[in-house]
Amino acid sequence: MASGRARSGRAVRVHRRATAADEIVELGGLRVTSVDRAIVETTCTSTYEVGVVLADAALRMDLTSRERLGATVRRHHRWHGSPAARAAAQFANGLSESVGESRFRVLLANHGLPAPELQVEIRDDTGRLLARVDFLLGGVLVIEFDGALKYVDGADAVVAEKWREDRLRERGYGVLRFGWADLNRAHETATRIWRGIARHPPGSRDKQ
């Protein structure tokens, strides 16, 4: 197909790379690159964080698998940016439920914070569901990432969320909330989480 040369204009840069037959699929009558190829190529021309976001979403929607992503990365290991694509494919797990959660997981890892459990269901002693939380660190520190759509139902949703937090704290959990702006001040956000871990170290609930 096309050569590997890039063509640039004032508003766009086009990278030409050969595309194998098994990297082309038909969608709505159009021939397009496969999900795996698109993720790897986009990551190679952007950033590791973008790759994690794309891979997480594709895995969550069952559009690909870690094995297929890994195979595509290995096939194109000579591309500029392939180390970022390889790292993103290895880090992605599909449990993050939004762009913000994927980016927040990258932030945690970049600052050496403990790997969180994702989408954890917390229940009381009777088995009743108290909350399903975005992140849980050390079995005790709950971290919630609030997207703009979380409180579209207004005041009732805000009150329900406060009651939910109160029930968690009554049972010894720490709760921290973050939003989109916190992704742009990564060092401050990481420092706040480290302080939360110091107040609620792993195993602290077991001592209550």
Does the domain at 99-207 match CATH 1.10.150.240? Answer given as no
Q: What angle do CA 142, 113, 147 make, to 5 degrees?
A: 50
pLDDT tens digits, residue range 31-55? 888 999 999 999 999 999 999 999 9
Share of the chain above pLDDT 70, in %: 83
Return the pLDDT at 199.
Answer: 95
How many CB atoms are closer than 10 A to CB 62? 8
The pLDDT value given to residue 24: 76
207: Cβ–Cβ under 8 A, 6 or more apart, which residues?
Answer: none
CB-based contacts of 15: which residues, under 8 Å, 6+ apart? Answer: 6, 41, 45
Highest mean pLDDT among 29-43, 146-160, 181-195: 181-195
Cross-strand partners of 22: none
Question: Residue 26: pLDDT above 90?
Answer: no
How distant, in Å, are the alpha carbons of 63, 86, 124, 146, 150 from that of 104? 22, 19, 27, 11, 16
Q: What is the pLDDT of residue 125?
A: 87
Q: Is the pLDDT of residue 152 over 80?
A: no
Lowest model confidence (mean pLDDT) among 36-40, 58-62, 147-151, 184-188? 147-151
Residue whose structure tokens are 């980016």: 103
85: three-class secondary structure by DSSP:
helix
Distance CA 10, CA 63 (A): 34
pLDDT given for residue 6 in this prediction: 45
Residue in 67, 17, 72 with CA at minimum distance from that of residue 45: 17
Location of each CATH 3.40.960.10 domain in the chain: 99-207
Torsion sign, CA atoms 195, 201, 205, 208: negative
User: Where is average pLDDT lowest: 18-27, 172-181, 187-196?
Assistant: 18-27
Q: Using alpha carbons only, what angle is made at residue 45 by residues 42 and 48, rounded to the nearest 5 degrees?
A: 75
pLDDT at 160 over 80: no
**Beta bridge partner(s), residue 110:** none
Structure tokens given for 184:
């742009």
Strands 141-145 and 174-178, sheet pairing: parallel
pLDDT band at residue 188, thresholds of 50, 70 and 90?
A: very high
Q: Kindly tell me if the per-residue pLDDT of 5 is higher than 50.
A: no
pLDDT in tens, 58-89: 999 999 999 999 999 999 999 999 999 999 99
Given pLDDT bands bounded at 50, 70 and 90, which one contains residue 206? low
Select the more confidently predicted residue: 70 or 152: 70
Q: Which of 59-68, 154-163, 169-178 is least confident? A: 154-163
Percent above pLDDT 90 for the chain? 67
Q: 3-class SS at 56?
A: helix
Counting every residue written for the chain, the total comes to 208
Instruction: For residue 178, give the DSSP letter.
Output: E
CB 143 within 8 A of CB 101: no
Residue 176's SS3 state is strand
